[in-house]
Structure 1
Amino acid sequence: MFDTESVTLLQKINRHSSDVTSCDFSKNYAVATGSSDKTVLVYEWRQSLGYVEAAYCPLRGHKYGVTCVRFSPSQPVLASSSIDGHTNVWCLRSGKCLQSLVQANGNGVRVIAYSTDGSLLVTAGEGGIFCLWSTSMNNYTLIRTVSGHDEESIQGASISPDNMIVVTGDVTGTYKLWSVSTLKDDECSNPLATVRDAHDLGINYLDFSSQYTIHISEEDGVTERCYLLASCGNDHWSGLWQVSITQVGKGNEAPILPSVPIPQLISKLCGHSSAISQGRISSQGDLLATASIDNTTRIWQISSGRCLKTLEGHTRYVTSCAFSEDQTMIITGSNDRATILWDLSGSLGLDSLLPSNPSNMASNYLVENIGERDESQSIQLLHKLEQHSSSVNSVHFSSSYLVSAGSDHKLVIRSWTSLGEVGDGCVIEEAHRYPIHQVEMCAKSGLLASCSLDGTAVLWDPETGMIKKSGWHVSGAGVRCVRFSPDSHIIAAGGDDDEVHVYRSDTCQKLATMKGGDGDGIMCLVLVYAVFDFLLTLI
């Protein structure tokens, strides 16, 4: 919780021998910084010590200064870019460089950005070229190389939260929107929209909010998606833009209409006395942080455009900033070679316990060959939990809860920590009238979904154990699977009637019904983002 009256300087780190050019937070509180000294540093939180360098640091592999560092949202890796024309992908377990991505034109890379689900990476920079990479299948693969800015250096790039759009901005103050599904190599791609003179003296950074809205017209099959984009530049102000696209047809695979409305500037945030080097939107989409060469960082409330706090602690230009996942902290980097961690909650100290070891990041991504792993490590039984009186049919983890459900009609919700500590939990005796077949936690909203052979699916508040929404999915047959989409905006349910019903997760409005089985019922479904399509896989 951001408390404007209690913001304090938590820790100041001076480990680089030159300017700190970039900084970032991982989802589990690890910190990374890049510098003109050609190195990357990764910091882990140690109770009573604060942030300390990982044992494998510094990471050396760039020939020239590092321009940008970004943690993958889904994999235990860190990407760093440099004016040497390379983007290096580092293993957070060992510090090894897993892959070095070469920019297509060989020129310097100024900015990199992952998609929200971590499946895509965009790298952009000098020469007006940006590259789009797929991060799947244990390997980063170049998908497209686009020459879209007349050889003007690209300083800002971001991917929309649903992977539909890439935005790129250059030193002339122009930014362009690109459809991911229709991108073509070289100069063959046409932007969906071009905004000129967005900033008079050039764009320094662009960032999509993770929050967006979808409006669906059932009658004509038209879908409108609305996004929030933040921009900043050398003209001392930051902009908040409404970006809209329209599709005809259902699903992410539906084509985007060529006549995309020009993005609208909905808020102009003024307060800095000099150029703004970077602007980052918080994961919850309600705050914007801007770093400036006036030596300050400002935190803005997006809904009102009001500056909530000005952070003063650096003696030279502030080059970069980033929020922690829960918005309790912000990190800033500066030309004074320092990195500062700020406590936004007023409740943190060096004695606080934070799960910040990046090697503990949950992932099914294999970052090293099996032969290189330490075979001395073994799997240990931590707990045997016996609160069900019949078979356990489904279990699921979130960042805070462990949920189980079974044929005894029970839901058991337990708190847990990354250290393996499990709480007593809340037992909901008759959560459904018949056996519960699957449970799943939503990563963003924190809601719990359950489905049962009684023909229903229910949304729960795991903190209270109370029903949040029922009656939104009722079937005449057993419901065997319920899943959230990777961006948490969609929920789907299927079962013995061979049908899958797709809903908006916030309103439970039905979006589609699909016939997916062959008479044997649907036992499992998965919603994933592919590179160019939204896929729903049925088993």
Structure 2
Amino acid sequence: MEPGAGAACARSGSSWKPSVYGPPRNMMKLKRFLLRYYPPGIMLEYEKGGELKTKSIDLLDLSPETDTEKLVAVIRETEPLITESRTAQLKQLICRLQEKLSQQDDGRFYLFKTLQAHILPLTNVAFNKSGSRFITGSYDRTCRIWDTISGEELQTLEGHKNVVYAVAFNNPYGDKVATGSFDKTCKLWCAETGKCFHTYRGHTAEIVCLAFNPQSTVMATGSMDTTAKLWNIETGMEMAMLEGHSSEVVTLSFNTDGNQLVTGSFDHTASLWDVVSGRRVHMLIGHTAEISSVQFNWDCSLIATGSIDKTCKVWDMRNMKCMATLGGHQAEVLDVCFNYTGQLIATASADGTARVYSAATGLCIARLEGHDGEISKICFNPKGSHILTASADKTARLWDVASGSCLQVLGGHTDEIFSCAFNYESDIIITGSKDNTCKIWRMQWRDDVEQYYL
């Protein structure tokens, strides 16, 4: 089978299923295509029984070399919505994705703006989906919403009584912001007006991590009180208390379908939870020290866990077994992340280095060396070609994934950098620092989403 042909998988609702098992063609009507660049895929918006629904064809293995004709044939065999009359358009969209993947992104970033964002150190930063706005949390007890291009402060979210530590947009929608605080509460805000919709109460210690599910219906919070909680976005009510860890819950992540949550704890374990029932379905046991970071890959087949024991473990979701232990670091692993295909894992360590591993083999394929202090944050750009690291040495660095070489040092902060992020198009970077400022680094601006109406 040609590269990319095996990656055509249709997803509808909250569960994965080959669309060949769907209803007959005459019961569904395709309305339009939505093109998703990262990870590569085509969303199908269709009408069924008078309701408008969507599903996606994920093309995680797509490359510029993929045989488009063969890939279209595979999709046609398994997706009833793609009729013969739509074949030419499908091929056109796949070619557009291939063009996007083949684009060179070797431009250099320049310092676009420095914002005196807060009166106390920043904790975390995050973009909305398009990158038009970003948020900053701070020890000054506020979260602020910023316009990326103008640098204008759009909203100051006030009301917490202690450090605002965890912040997030409800991407891909971007109309809500969540803030988790050391005051033991989480708040949900309107991203446009700054109005507080809900204050989630119930934790008995600091909230240090939070996440929206991809459908923006549920929010999860993790706390130093050893529990995580699930909250209903619409009603503001607690849905479930996730009890079972014996120490602080410091990291969590939803899977792509939003029906499972993984939590990582200082008790050396990670736990997998069913979101609907709130029940723990499995414990991931094997680390010998505190868990620092957990993440699902895109297709929900793997979980990565980073630990203070200097390793990262990769867990196979089919059998809940550890399939690889990624070693080599000389100090604590502080952060881990997958690239969009789930084939690569990057780790950041207190030893001042980062590493890139093959998820399949567990082999280290690149060592990222050059920082003079611990690296607390690491992320791939959405395209998967570059890695961004934030360090206590007051710099962020941009790295080439394939070679492991440092492409650029982003300097200028006067204290350690706590947080960093790429926008969706990979042409803007935000860095947030203990020096109370955030910096906007810009390469260029491109269109974000293309829509194709039938």
Would you call these one fold, judging by a TM-score over 0.5? yes
Is 1:180 matched with 2:274? yes
**Deviation per residue, 1:26-54 (Å, 9 max, x gap):** 013211111000011101245xxx21011
- Write the mapping of 1:274-313 to structure 2, written as runs, cut at 5 A: 274-302=373-401, 305-313=404-412
**Which residue number in structure 2 is paired with residue 31 of structure 1?**
134
**Which residue number in structure 2 is paired with residue 514 of structure 1?**
none
Contact 1:167–1:175 (CA<8 Å) still a contact in 2? no
Code of the residue aligned with 2:125 in structure 1: it is C
- Write the mapping of 1:322-471 to structure 2, written as runs, cut at 5 A: 322-343=421-442, 345=443, 347=444, 399-401=449-451, 403-405=452-454
Aligned partners of 1:292 and 1:189: how far apart in 2? 36
TM-score (norm 2): 0.60
**How far 1:17 moved relative to its partner?**
0.3
**Which residue number in structure 2 is paired with residue 19 of structure 1?**
121
Contact 1:279–1:288 (CA<8 Å) still a contact in 2? yes
**How far 1:93 moved relative to its partner?**
2.0
**How far 1:65 moved relative to its partner?**
0.7
Aligned partners of 1:227 and 1:166: how far apart in 2? 21
Fraction of identical pairs, as percent: 24
Evaluate the alpha carbon distance shift between residue 326 and residue 210 of structure 1 in structure 2; reply closer, same or farther with a 3 A threshold. Answer: farther
Aligned partners of 1:107 and 1:121: how far apart in 2? 18
**How far 1:335 moved relative to its partner?**
0.3
Is 1:236 matched with 2:352? yes
**How far 1:139 moved relative to its partner?**
3.1
**How far 1:223 moved relative to its partner?**
10
**How far 1:235 moved relative to its partner?**
4.2
- Write the mapping of 1:514-533 to structure 2, written as runs, cut at 5 A: none
Is 1:168 matched with 2:263? yes
**Which residue number in structure 2 is paired with residue 80 of structure 1?**
179
Contact 2:270–2:291 (CA<8 Å) still a contact in 1? no
Unaligned runs of 5+ in 2: 1-102, 303-317, 321-340
What secondary structure sits across from 1:127 in the alignment?
coil
**How far 1:304 moved relative to its partner?**
5.1
Is 1:8 matched with 2:110? yes
**Which residue number in structure 2 is paired with residue 52 of structure 1?**
152
Q: Report the count of equivalent residues.
A: 314
Code of the residue aligned with 2:376 in structure 1: it is S
**Which residue number in structure 2 is paired with residue 537 of structure 1?**
none
Code of the residue aligned with 1:157 in structure 2: it is L
**Which residue number in structure 2 is paired with residue 90 of structure 1?**
189
Is 1:194 matched with 2:194? no
Aligned counterpart for 2:239 among listed residues 122, 134, 143: 143
Aligned partners of 2:363 and 2:392: how far apart in 1? 24
**How far 1:295 moved relative to its partner?**
1.2
Aligned partners of 1:139 and 1:243: how far apart in 2? 39
What secondary structure sits across from 2:152 in the alignment?
strand
**How far 1:320 moved relative to its partner?**
0.6
What secondary structure sits across from 2:189 in the alignment?
strand
**How far 1:313 moved relative to its partner?**
2.0
Evaluate the alpha carbon distance shift between residue 148 and residue 242 of structure 1 in structure 2; reply closer, same or farther with a 3 A threshold. Answer: farther
Aligned partners of 1:116 and 1:43: how far apart in 2? 23
Aligned partners of 2:357 and 2:269: how far apart in 1? 12
Unaligned runs of 5+ in 1: 215-221, 245-262, 349-353, 356-397, 406-539
**Which residue number in structure 2 is paired with residue 360 of structure 1?**
none
Contact 1:182–1:189 (CA<8 Å) still a contact in 2? no
Contact 1:158–1:166 (CA<8 Å) still a contact in 2? yes
What secondary structure sits across from 2:151 in the alignment?
strand
Aligned partners of 1:282 and 1:23: how far apart in 2? 15
Aligned partners of 2:275 and 2:117: how far apart in 1? 42
Aligned partners of 1:120 and 1:286: how far apart in 2? 31
**How far 1:190 moved relative to its partner?**
3.5
**Which residue number in structure 2 is paired with residue 65 of structure 1?**
163
**Which residue number in structure 1 is paired with residue 78 of structure 2?**
none
Contact 1:230–1:241 (CA<8 Å) still a contact in 2? yes
Code of the residue aligned with 2:166 in structure 1: it is C
What secondary structure sits across from 1:99 in the alignment?
strand
Contact 2:259–2:276 (CA<8 Å) still a contact in 1? no
**How far 1:87 moved relative to its partner?**
1.2
Aligned partners of 1:3 and 1:13: how far apart in 2? 26
Aligned partners of 2:201 and 2:433: how far apart in 1? 27
Structure (1 or 2) with the greater helix fraction: 2
Evaluate the alpha carbon distance shift between residue 154 and residue 228 of structure 1 in structure 2; reply closer, same or farther with a 3 A threshold. Answer: farther
**Deviation per residue, 1:403-435 (Å, 9 max, x gap):** 343xxxxxxxxxxxxxxxxxxxxxxxxxxxxxx
Code of the residue aligned with 1:125 in structure 2: it is S
Evaluate the alpha carbon distance shift between residue 239 and residue 108 of structure 1 in structure 2; reply closer, same or farther with a 3 A threshold. Answer: farther
Aligned counterpart for 1:40 among listed residues 139, 143, 146: 143
Aligned counterpart for 1:131 among listed residues 223, 229, 252: 229
Contact 1:205–1:279 (CA<8 Å) still a contact in 2? no
Code of the residue aligned with 1:336 in structure 2: it is D
Contact 1:33–1:40 (CA<8 Å) still a contact in 2? yes
Aligned counterpart for 1:121 among listed residues 202, 219, 222: 219
Aligned partners of 1:161 and 1:266: how far apart in 2? 26
Aligned partners of 1:127 and 1:97: how far apart in 2? 24
**How far 1:162 moved relative to its partner?**
3.3
Evaluate the alpha carbon distance shift between residue 278 and residue 178 of structure 1 in structure 2; reply closer, same or farther with a 3 A threshold. Answer: same
Aligned partners of 2:190 and 2:416: how far apart in 1? 30
Aligned partners of 2:258 and 2:207: how far apart in 1? 21
Aligned partners of 1:71 and 1:89: how far apart in 2? 10
